[in-house]
Structure 1
């Protein structure tokens, strides 16, 4: 192991807006300050893990007040400890609009009378790509799916999306740091979660050790990606879980990670990674992550594109079923419910769909299958139609029986009301 240090990275929480303990972060920065090792506060500010809603509707992961609260703490730490702040996927989806909103919040906080001594050099990175560029690449056959199960992209998908953005890698962050080395804050648009972690580490490696060649830098990429993958979720990697975490990065592929509290361009391979718990029983040393670039296989550098469009309105109905005879035939029954609803609403304009989420299936009781809970949802072009569809589901489930329904006493009549309660919402 090469024991030369490159940098320290402090992640207060896995996602900006969720809140964190400023005092704990300040204690760690105070502890790190005497080392004179470059230190940065880096964290994620959003994700599309929760689904496409933010992209389709232009909403944010947290309310504006939550970002104001966290940024107020973060900027105070930046000012007091003279460390840079870097975050990505601004306000959830990383759209250009949300990058600008983060700029606005930083300006608002800095303009307060109590913060007149604040002066931050802020860089913004934008990820939205003009739809005309996407359509041009699509027509030229230069866009491919992220996997075999991903449907082929169509021009309609592009034109009907609110916007299209790219999940950028570390390169734009590195370019920004090299162009403005005295930066205080970098606001990133949509980015691969480890990107800012890799970027700051790589930037410091190149800055402090100019003797490191391109091959050695590339060999470090895997370890840095591995570090960023873990640190991107804050202290969730620890046992017990913590809000925040700290990474100490060495100039080889090694990094130390510990809790605070008592992608693009290739693939990350962890098959040769090693983990060693250090003597303090809080820090884990990690080595062996490898980054295999697309270029090494003769393939072009590609970015993942993200977009979403509004499909319609959703209405749900939910409830439980205790009739063990019905539960035994539940799959067939739900098929019949869907057929009934379709029959009741002939000639519906546009696309619509019904779905059922069944919880508790497979449980057993002395008398047969146990109780199940069902969430039925309808998606339709209008709110009125979506509501009408779930009303039809509710009626069918509550009042209609099952074919061939029988118990130990023999067949029961189809008109028998089922013991189910479903309410639309």
Structure 2
């Protein structure tokens, strides 16, 4: 069901990556009227070692610090908490590592959330067979997919869109911990689920994927996105920080070769007709 013209789905994005640092005061101050908390926990920026080893980029203590704040906020507000690409790579081992931290936090704080786990790791033998069948298409500039390459891999992760997160929430999960997921998909899941416009949901999520990187003070906490039927707004959680037309619009180029078009699993976002306006 689509939203009414005046309605929005509000998602609190506390940071650009779980473990990099969450400001507790900002998160709890931003809970009123929020429909979900969502953030990414992964990256390919640091190379393939984290996928190969299943070890997270950020320390266990750092991830536990951030996740404890978010789990307590989730419990207080009674809204979903979604974490994508757990443990940096989103491998099965990294997801299990994050799950164990979440269960430890739940015990220590007397919480009893329903936690869903979304696995993304693929069997190398299956991927090699699919490649031989011609069912795997490489991304440019690669030109072929050698089946032997898949057989030589210890860990292969698929890249999830929002659909598994939506399915987990519809099944009653309070917290969804995901394997490898696009940064944008984990933020877009709840707006799409609750009837926000697809264009605004994907666009807002792309801008907010790295938390405050789309603000004038990129290290100052997170942001709030409010996604409607035809538009979205974004604002920083920290007082004194700002989102400007430049900081917001320029984020379309972040980890993206085209400033107007974003390709996601099952979706192509075209922002060439988008207009950016300062609200205040």
TM-score range, shorter chain: 0.7 to 0.9
- How far does the alpha carbon of each residue in 1:302-361 deviate from its partner, in whole angstroms, 9 at most, with x for none? xxxxxxxxxxxxxxxxxxxxxxxxxxxxxxxxxxxxxxxxxxxxxxxxxxxxxxxxxxxx
TM-score by length of 2: 0.85
Q: Quick check: 191-200 or 119-128, which moved more?
A: 191-200
Is 1:143 aligned to 2:143, yes or no? no
- How far does the alpha carbon of each residue in 1:78-118 deviate from its partner, in whole angstroms, 9 at most, with x for none? 12222221010001010111111111111111222xx22x1
- Which structure: greater strand fraction? 1
- How far does the alpha carbon of each residue in 1:255-298 deviate from its partner, in whole angstroms, 9 at most, with x for none? 1101111211132211111111112xxxxxxxxxxxxxxxxxxx
1:45 to 41, 56, 76: 41
Correspondence for 1:238: 215
Correspondence for 1:193: 183
- How far does the alpha carbon of each residue in 1:382-425 deviate from its partner, in whole angstroms, 9 at most, with x for none? xxxxxxxxxxxxxxxxxxxxxxxxxxxxxxxxxxxxxxxxxxxx
TM-score by length of 1: 0.57
Correspondence for 2:66: 70
| Separation (CA, whole Å) in 2 of partners of 1:141 and 1:125 | 27
| Separation (CA, whole Å) in 2 of partners of 1:253 and 1:150 | 37
Give how far 1:231 is off: 1.1
| Separation (CA, whole Å) in 2 of partners of 1:166 and 1:222 | 24
Q: Give runs of ≥4 in structure 1 deviating > 3 Å.
A: none
- Structure with the greater relative contact order (CA < 8 A, sep ≥ 6): 1 or 2? 2
| CA RMSD across the alignment | 1.7
Contact 1:224/1:253 (<8 A) preserved: no
| Separation (CA, whole Å) in 1 of partners of 2:80 and 2:163 | 18
Structure 1 runs not aligned, ≥5 long:
206-216, 280-425
| Separation (CA, whole Å) in 2 of partners of 1:14 and 1:103 | 20
Aligned-partner SS, 2:183: coil
Contact 2:116/2:175 (<8 A) preserved: yes
Kindly tell me the number of residue pairs found equivalent between the two proteins. 253
Write out aligned runs for 1:223-302 (5 A).
223-241=200-218, 242-250=220-228, 252-261=229-238, 262=240, 263-279=264-280
